[in-house]
Chains A and B, each alone.
Chain A
Amino acid sequence: MTDWSPALLRHFRSPVGSGLLAGDSTEFGTGEAGAVKSGVRIVYQLALSDGDIIDRVGWLAFGCPATIASCSWLAESLVGLSVDRARDLTGGQVMVALDIPRDRRSRVLVVEDAVRGALDAATTMRDT
């Protein structure tokens, strides 16, 4: 079995921001990435405040502990950031923070894709 880091296990066992956002779907952006047959599937949601600040995050994840912990770490990091600052967050930062094993790093990139999709959807919604 893979040796997971303490930081990763902390997020895996007590995840931040899990579940989908409540309310009208026009109030937040949703990004989805991955496929069940690849062993990872993510739904990520972000809601923006009037000042273009991320004020709510929700997510669901099917995947290994690294996948779930990555969703949680990003949820913890994203709330309070501007959209521009959020776009600067990368999978690489998640890998370092959670000490993701080399053979699981591709899962983090799937999470990153879902987050970027949610950011795009949220900003599109804001602009329309």
Chain B
Amino acid sequence: MARLYLDHAATTPLDPAVLEAMLPWMGCDTGFGNPASVTHAYGRTAAAAVEQARRQVADLLQAPAEGVIFTGSATEAINMAVLGSMRFSMQRGRGSHLVTCATEHSAVLAACEQLRREGATITVLPVDANGQLSLADLQEALRDDTVLVSLMLGNNETGVCHDIAAVAALLQGHPARLHVDATQAVGKVPVHLPALQADLLSLSAHKFHGPKGVGALWRCPEPRVRLQPLLFGGGQESGERSGTQAVHQIVGLGEACGLAANALPAEMQRLTALRDRLEAGLRATGIPMVCNGAGRRLPHISNLSFPGLHGEALLADIEPELAVALGSACSSADARGSHVLRAMGLDETLSLSAFRLSVGRRTTPADIDVAVAVVARSAQRLLRLSPLQPRGVAG
């Protein structure tokens, strides 16, 4: 039996159409031009492909194309947004305060830690048991010297969404910029900048069937949000991300954006139905289960806890048939477990038994039914071994 892939929040398989679009830009005889070498056709052709991809990204975001900066990953885009805007401001004495949230991706939180070492003040907002942020807390955290508010659109572990439009409305009249980490959301839900009113937005191709190794930062071009570059050199990407553009990767990102634009919003509804079928199916088995995170959620992520089970044991049991992620990255490498679940206040029995299942473009309702059966079978077997359940008697 083939192993079912239900870890699309980690990465997604490359769409064949994306691969098809990328291949000409990896050729030995053509397609290898440097987009910066516009003195000949090789370079001009490559530059045109990069600009076409830039328009595809911008079209998906319903935003001006000149705001798109290609990067090597979402992590780089996030670092560029967080470090770049803060350093630009701090070097000019225009403020050194940043507001973020406890459930943000480690790319944001680690960049904030670096800023703290450089003299910035960081406010990390808490979330409630559902993973939701309080707008009142955000309002209270804002200061005159707040430079940046960095929040994710949808959480990568639980799928819980922040109300970014409401955050943007709250920031009206305040000089702070708004960075939105939309890495998990792009391609799954409409991510439109006119609605979000973000100043900066980061994304990654491989989360929505594009290639790994390429991401993008959109930054408002007018009035231009100023960033201190992370990389210095040839001045590519408007001087904000030096380094020869990886044409094949960028073309792949553009094609993935084009495909996503065509598929939405129907794909969002299909993913939502699959997620709901998964959660309803597991609930119907009668196995004790808690869904971690509530309110508006991304359509493709379920974070579920099975009290009494150890996540690693369940994972090892189902691994031959299902590829899923531990909801709590609790191992000897990180004994503290998931910072997201911890921020939501989950106790040990819930956080140690947490799983993330994430559906994708090729997932079918029949796949979900198989997943429910596999998880239920393993959970029932392991619960019989657990001292945290009403005690059974040796057979």
Contacts and interface: CB of A to CB of B under 8 A. Distances in A.
Given A4-B316, A39-B310, A22 B393 contact: yes
A1 B319 CA distance: 10
* Interface residue SS majority, chain A: mixed
Contact of A19 (B309, B349, B393): B393
Contact of A39 (B317, B319, B352): B352
Interface of B: 308-310, 312-313, 315-317, 319, 330-333, 335, 348-349, 352, 384-388, 391-395
Interface string A93-126: 0000000000110000000000000000000000
Given A19-B392, A19-B393, A104-B332, A43 B312 contact: no
A61 B381 CA distance: 12
Nearest to B394: A19
Contacts of A32: 387
SS class of chain B's interface: helix, strand, loop or mixed? loop
- Chain A, interface size category, equals 20 to 34
A38 B317 CA distance: 21
Given A13-B317, A68-B313, A21 B387 contact: no
B394 A62 contact: no
Nearest to B378: A13
A19 B331 CA distance: 26
Contacts of B308: 62
B387 A60 contact: yes
Given A4-B316, A19-B395, A61-B387, 8 more contacts: A2-B312, A36-B352, A42-B387, A58-B394, A60-B387, A63-B310, A103-B331, A103-B333
B277 to A, nearest CB: 26
Contacts of A58: 393-394
A20 interface: yes
A60 B386 contact: yes
B394 A68 contact: no
Nearest to B323: A1
Interface string A1-22: 1101000010011010111111
Contacts of A12: 313, 316-317
A61 B387 CA distance: 6
A14 to B, nearest CB: 10
B394 A22 contact: yes
Contacts of B317: 12-13
